Each structure stands twice: as C-alpha cells, then as structure tokens.
Structure 1
C-alpha cells in the first residue's frame, strides 16, 4: 500500500513538472489591489430593483456618485438587455450609504440605436465636464442581440445632469466598419471604459474577433466627442472569456481590470485580471496579476447555505469599477449575481483598496 501511495505521489509530481496539467491554469500572484482588499458593505440595494454595475465618480465637494444599471424585474437575463436604465445615487462618503437621486439615461423606446436598455455605465470627470458612457440596443431578442450593441456618450456639467448626448444621436462606437478586426461581430461593442492619455481619448470595449474570441479592443480619438477610430488589433492577450473592464492610470502605468469568467487567465473562475501596460495599447498576460478573488474571500460571514444564486456560476463580482482619489485607486465597486445575504435581488458592494506603498 505504501508503495502504491509513493508511486502516486511521484506521478503527481511528474504531471506538474512535465506540464500534463496544462488545461488547468496556474494561479497568478495577487495584485496590489487584491492583496489588501477590504469589504466595507453594501453600496446600493433596493427591493424593487436588480442592480448590475456601479460606476463611481467624486465631485468637487467630495460627494461620491454612483451610476448604476438597474431594472425592475428580478431576473438578470433577459431583463438587463430589455429593461435596464442608468440611475444616479449619491453619498457623502465613498462607503455610503448611497441614496437614489435621479435616472440619468433611459432607452428612447423609439426607432433609434438606443431604443432599449442603457447599460454598462462608465463615468469620468474631465476638467469641468462629467462624461457618461453606456451601451444600448435596437432589439433585445436574440438574434439580433448581442450583435446590435453600440456605445453612446453623454456629457454634463454636473453629475445631476442635465445630460446632453454627443453628436446627432449619442452613438460614438459600433462594429460596422469592414476594415476593422471585429467587423460585424456578433457581440457588437460593449463594456466601455475610458481614459484620457496624453491629450487623446482612449475608449476600451469588449468585442469578438472574427474567430469568435472575446477580447478587449481600443478606439482612440483626438477630441472627446470623437470620431473614435478602432485600432488595428485587440489590446488583451487573454485566454478564454473576459469582460467588464475598468481602466485607470497609476504610477506611470495604465491598468485594465477585467473579469476572468472561467479562470483561464488567473486560475480563479470568476476572479479579476489586472492587466498592466506602459502605453495602454498592449496588455500582455505575462504582466497580469489577480485583480480580486471571489466575494466570500472578503465577506467573512459568508454562508453558502444562506447565499441566494440569482445569476452566474459563483458568488463573484460583476462590472468592477475603480474610484480614484488623489490619483490613487481607493475603492472598488461591483454587484454580484449571488445575494450573499439571502435576498432575491442583486446588490452592489463596495471595497476599500488598502495599498501598501
């Protein structure tokens, strides 16, 4: 018996050493975000709404504003692509409590590119302006969805609005140029995240290659309102599915935080991948680290018997967004498809990023 056990142990070592376990990804090291991420509680919840996305921005007075995708149905899919609206919540502190203020963006309900479900909010303050990006669609049925997803932009002098869409209809990006690598992608363009880099405007987005692989792309404009030109190739060298990007600049690097839906990059199914780049144009997997782990890692009272699955494979974060304070990533916001408290609605969570410098 001891001989068999010894042989088995040798076999395991050989498997690891020779790479027979290639299909199982090696877990990445923890990033500076994941090392000391502290769960602070619920940012937004409402018994009448399902939440999916919490994009933060801080105003001149120090108030924190969350732009949140929400809808009245209890289900996530198909409600997110049919009924989503972008609501605005406000708090005196980044940790809340956040109070509903107003609805910033709704679907037009008419024959426009944004007839249905403004979703995936991204908010940035540039100078005196607040810039809000979002996706929407013409028809929530599948097909044509998700190939009909487009990205829009609205600008306001205040986070309370009024919001004015740019150009003639608000749309700043689509997947309809035959010259682009994601032409007629059956994903369209989605999950926008945005950054000003050396006087240019970088709009990152999720899409599909012609081979059907989900990647992040980049469109660049010389002016805030565009036109935005999609670059020649994807910016991420990811394996498998990724989405939910948020971009920020910190200590001479540009970081892109995305979800790793099946763990093929980080080794954590549903964890976050923190991509690192000098120029923001190429993000290599060998430079990436774990952006964050699953929700139970940080919520110490997690009880699997109590947690309620509403959507998704695990109690993971969705649509992560970073709040920068004094040019430092200070807070992480994100909802989960699992209600860890046992309710039948999703809630948005807030985490403090404790950086050891």
Structure 2
C-alpha cells in the first residue's frame, strides 16, 4: 500500500511538471503577480444539497466575510444554471471559511419580468455604507431564446444580510436593446457584471457579443443606480472568447481577471487572463499576463483517479472573484466543474494571494 501511495505521489508531481512545461512552451505571456502567488486553501463553501457556481466575496462591517453564491438543487450544471439558479448568502469569520449558509437573497420572479428565471453571476461591492449586488437573469431558459435574453440587474441593501431592494422599477440596469451600441441584440445577451468606482464614476464591466465575437464592454454612470451608458466599443482586444470577469484597482492600475477557457489569449487552456489598463477603458493583449493556471498546478494532493468530473473539459476555475483587503487582492474564489475531493457536487474553492 505504501508503494502504491508513493507511486501516486510521483505521478502527481510528474503531472504538475508536465503542466508547467506545456504552458511555458505554449504561452507568450508571463505569470501575473496573482498566478505566481496563489496558495491552495481548499474548499470555501460546499453544500450537499446544491450545485454551486460562483462566489462573490465582501468584508462586512461585522468583521465577517460574506459570500454571495449562485446555486441550484439539480446536480447538473447545464441547463440547471439558466433554469433554477438562485443567489444565496454564506458567512464566515475568516476568508478561508468554513462558510455557513445564512439566507437566500434572490430567486427568479416566476412572472413576466426580465428576471423570470435564474438570478446568476453574482457580484458584490460595498460603496459608501451600501452593499451593491449585481446579477443576471433571463426571461426564458429554453434555447432559443436563451442566451440572447440575458440582462443585468442590481439590488442594494444597508447590510450584507439585507433586506435587498431592487433598483428602479424591477432591478434592470443594462440590456442589449440600444440599436446604437456595438452589442445591440447580442446573441449572448449581456452578462458577467463587475463594478468599479473609478474617476468618481461607476464603471460597470460586462461580457457581450458584437461583430467581432465575445468581448468585455463597459457602461459608465454618474450615479450608482444609473443610468449606465454603454461605451462605443469593447474594452478588451482579446483573441477568441473570454468570460467570467472581475475588475479591481491595485497599484495605480485597473485589472480585469477573466477566464481563458480555450487558451487563445495566454496559451494556457483553462487558465485565466489578467488584463491591465491605466484608463479602465483600453485593455490590450500585450499588457495582459497569465491570471492563474489550472487546479493541479496549485493543489499538491490532486489525484486524477479521485476527481469527479461534473462539468467541463478540464480541472479549471470558473467565475473568478477577488476579495480585496487593505487595498490589495488577498483571496481568489472560484468554482470548478471538477470536484477534486471526489464528491458529486461542485464546490467553490479558495486560494490565498500571498503578495
């Protein structure tokens, strides 16, 4: 038995070495300050009754860490995410958890509204004394009209525990109905919101589809509740597709961390891309770096015989989100379609960023 365990350890080390060799050979980009300093901390949140897909973190005035998580009862990822997703609130005393369930924040209305189904893509920000929650929803989870019918909404609360009030009439703040914009009637709708206060304005980043494919765009508002005006062109000059972005400000630069599922931007298939900008409007591929590698590059106990493949083609992160502490990116959260501990549900993993 000891010999078998030793052999497994050698295999895991070799797999990690091969991963590093392959990205070093294929990538024209350097490891970012995030990718070089990630420390695997394991599971942040799991729930035996729910599939989890995304965890947006925020520090509360109570000194606790609050995660806003997309979840649904079905074990499958697709189509359940677009049909049954809700946003739930989990709380912990420490960024590494353990996180305990607190309450459900948002469900689909079930009525004839823009968010009839599946609140998803949670993003949380604390602005002044208010907690601002961004999310997406859709009118019909069947394909078609999904995914073209996805839009972005906002809800605000004075406490991370709520109560949450949707802004305006029904929470809707951004869609693809403006014929003058580059993503008019986007075949993918408008999704993956991330918010930044920059230049005394509110910068809302999003993923959408235009004539040149899926890009990240930007809508700017003078007031937190809008109106948000979509800028004339996308902000990312990406190769191929990207998604799942989170924006943050650090060291006098705006950073946008996205997935790179096909490796078209960094050469790391299933890794992440860290985009850098000075004005928050132009993110050039020449200024990008490898945001993160795949899970086996960080988790030393990775065992390919133990992992359960629930969704996706590789043990990679989805929906990356950053917890800022003292003005620095401190922790990275993300789910995966692969459960490395051998369970049948997806979980949200957490990494410490040792800057």
TM-score (norm 2): 0.92
Q: CA deviation at 1:343?
A: 1.2
2:96 counterpart of 1:80:
no
Q: CA deviation at 1:210?
A: 2.4
Residues 111-160 of structure 1, C-alpha deviations (whole Å, 9 max, x = no match):
10000000000000001000000000000000000000000000000000
Partners of 1:36 and 1:230 in 2: how far apart?
35
Which residue is 1:8 aligned to?
none
Unaligned runs of 5+ in 2: 1-24
- Secondary structure class of the residue paired with 1:286: helix
What is the RMSD of the two structures over their aligned residues, measured on CA atoms? 0.9
1:286-301 aligned at under 5 Å gives the runs 286-301=286-301
- Secondary structure class of the residue paired with 2:217: strand
Which residue is 2:285 aligned to?
285
Q: Give the conservation status (yes or no) of the 8 Å contact 1:27–1:268.
A: no
1:78-227 aligned at under 5 Å gives the runs 78-211=79-212, 213-227=213-227
Partners of 2:252 and 2:172 in 1: how far apart?
31
2:41 counterpart of 1:40:
yes
2:231 counterpart of 1:231:
yes
Q: CA deviation at 1:27?
A: 4.0
- Secondary structure class of the residue paired with 1:269: coil
- Secondary structure class of the residue paired with 2:314: coil
Residues 35-83 of structure 1, C-alpha deviations (whole Å, 9 max, x = no match):
0100111011111100000000001232000000000000000000000
2:255 counterpart of 1:262:
no
Partners of 2:56 and 2:310 in 1: how far apart?
21
Which residue is 2:72 aligned to?
71
Partners of 1:189 and 1:60 in 2: how far apart?
31
Bigger radius of gyration among the two? 1
Partners of 1:175 and 1:196 in 2: how far apart?
23
Partners of 2:200 and 2:155 in 1: how far apart?
19
Q: Give the conservation status (yes or no) of the 8 Å contact 2:320–2:334.
A: yes
- Secondary structure class of the residue paired with 2:296: helix
Figure out how many residues of one structure are paired with residues of the other and give that number: 331
Q: Give the conservation status (yes or no) of the 8 Å contact 2:27–2:268.
A: no
- Secondary structure class of the residue paired with 1:168: coil
- Secondary structure class of the residue paired with 1:81: helix
Unaligned runs of 5+ in 1: 1-23
